[in-house]
Amino acid sequence: MMILMKREATEEQIQAVCEAIHEHGLESLVLPGGQRVAVGIPSAIPPELRPVLDQHLSAMDGVDQVIHITRPYKLASRDFHPHDTVVRVGRVEIGGGRFAVMAGPCAVESYEQTLEAARAVKAAGAQVLRAGAYKPRTSPYSFQGLQREGLEILRTVAQEVDILTVSEVVDPRDVETAAEYIDILQIGARNMQNFPLLVEVGKSRKPVLLKRSPSATIDEWLAAAEYLLTNGNEQVMLCERGIAPLDRAYVRNTLDINAVPVIKYHSHLPIIVDPSHGIGHARYVPAVALAATAAGADGLLIEVHPHPDRALSDGVQSLNPEAFTQLMAQISAIRAALAPLNAK
């Protein structure tokens, strides 16, 4: 439920609405707008209380309209938060027209490999270095990442190159440690509904990139984001990384380009697109990266490895530095072409 206040509503009237909500045992959230204020009720409202609350609040001074929100997410909804969220990570802003590219290898393999990758992606224009220290893999025999050592390498390289970092955390017990080393915590597709992990990352208040599970609906994805938001983390970004494909002979996943405009219509949270996992083959990554840019994504997450043929994971979908540099020029051209249209 959201209570839309009149333009001339006073602070006292707004506070009175909040107190009335609290009297019914519910939480309130004041949502400043461009011309008027709204008061949201993010918690679940018992069905028998809704008509009573509606009648009570509608009659209060300063209230213009009571709006019922039926979706399973509230804080992630644009109904609750009409203006785009801008996530600030150091000197970088993401969302609300600000575009960011996060790029780097799938995994931290060594200091030398990570340093080479970081220098290459920054030189091409990326603002954030991506690389995994913890690697949840389907097979227990696959490379699982360097873990704590990987985090240390990432921080050392980031300081040396002067670049921000994003890396996945997979265990709630590792959130506090990872937050000390990494600028943006990533929740991978396998962990989108790992609710204890969502709660801990929410409590960390650290910027977070929440990937969509390949079988998740839009509502399920945004409900997962709600766990982060309800635990106090407002620095949430969504990441579309492809849904389960019909034909695995050609692609790893099917990039759901529809998700970009749909999310931007229904939610205020920035949406990043991962074309590397979205299609799974380096030869196709540039095309889908440009499509995502044109569709209005707030950024891209791209796998780049100095030597893809030697990568310990996901080498087949990783661009080499030369291909990434060329792609960044194409991305700039797409954004420049769209700028006059976006300004209208």
For the domain that residue 25 is a member of, what is the CATH number? 3.30.70.1140
Rounded Cα distance between 271 and 264, Å, is 8
Confidence of residue 35 (pLDDT cuts 50, 70, 90): confident
Q: Are residues 110 and 208 in the same domain?
A: yes
Rounded Cα distance between 222 and 75, Å, is 9
Strands 236-240 and 164-168: unpaired
Q: Are residues 183 and 306 in the same domain?
A: yes
Strands 37-40 and 29-32: antiparallel
Tokens 């918690």, located at residue = 43
232: left (phi over 0), alpha (psi -120 to 50) or beta: left
In 3-state terms the chain splits into helix, strand, coil percentages (rounded to 5) of 40, 20, 40
What pLDDT shows up at residue 137?
Answer: 65
Q: How far is CA 52 from CA 42, 189, 192, 291, 304, in A?
A: 17, 41, 36, 48, 56
Q: Are residues 62 and 91 in the same domain?
A: no
> Could you tell me the CATH number of the domain that includes residue 206?
3.20.20.70
Q: Are residues 92 and 58 in the same domain?
A: no
Whether 145 has a pLDDT exceeding 80, the answer reads no
Rounded Cα distance between 281 and 6, Å, is 53
Rounded Cα distance between 327 and 123, Å, is 13
Q: Are residues 218 and 309 in the same domain?
A: yes
Rounded Cα distance between 83 and 248, Å, is 39
Q: Are residues 53 and 120 in the same domain?
A: no
Sorted by sequence, the CB contacts under 8 Å of residue 273 that are 6+ apart come out as 239, 240, 241, 255, 260, 288, 289, 292, 295, 297, 299, 300, 301
Q: Are residues 238 and 266 in the same domain?
A: yes
Tell me, rounded to whole angstroms, the distance of Cα 249 from its chain centroid: 29
- SS3 category, 343: coil
Counting runs of H as helices and runs of E as strands, what totals does the chain give?
11, 14
| pLDDT, mean of residues 51-59 | 92
* Number of structural domains found in the chain: 2
Whether 128 has a pLDDT exceeding 90, the answer reads yes
80 lies in some domain: no
Percent pLDDT > 70 in the chain is 97
Q: Are residues 100 and 245 in the same domain?
A: yes
| pLDDT, mean of residues 239-253 | 92
Instruction: Give pLDDT tens digits for 167-197.
Output: 999 999 999 999 999 999 999 999 999 999 9
What is the secondary structure of 11-47 as a DSSP string? HHHHHHHHHHHHHTT---EEEE-SSSEEEE--S---T
Q: Are residues 102 and 154 in the same domain?
A: yes
Domain span at residue 273 reads 87-342
Q: Are residues 54 and 130 in the same domain?
A: no
Instruction: Give pLDDT tens digits for 288-337.
Output: 999 999 999 999 999 999 999 999 999 999 999 999 999 999 999 999 99
pTM, to two decimals: 0.87
- What is the residue type of 252? R
79 lies in some domain: no
Q: Are residues 27 and 129 in the same domain?
A: no
What pLDDT shows up at residue 36?
Answer: 79
Rounded Cα distance between 97 and 233, Å, is 21
Percent pLDDT > 90 in the chain is 78
Confidence of residue 227 (pLDDT cuts 50, 70, 90): very high
By C-alpha distance, which of 40, 49, 53, 37 is closest to 5? Answer: 37
Q: Are residues 45 and 125 in the same domain?
A: no
Rounded Cα distance between 181 and 270, Å, is 23
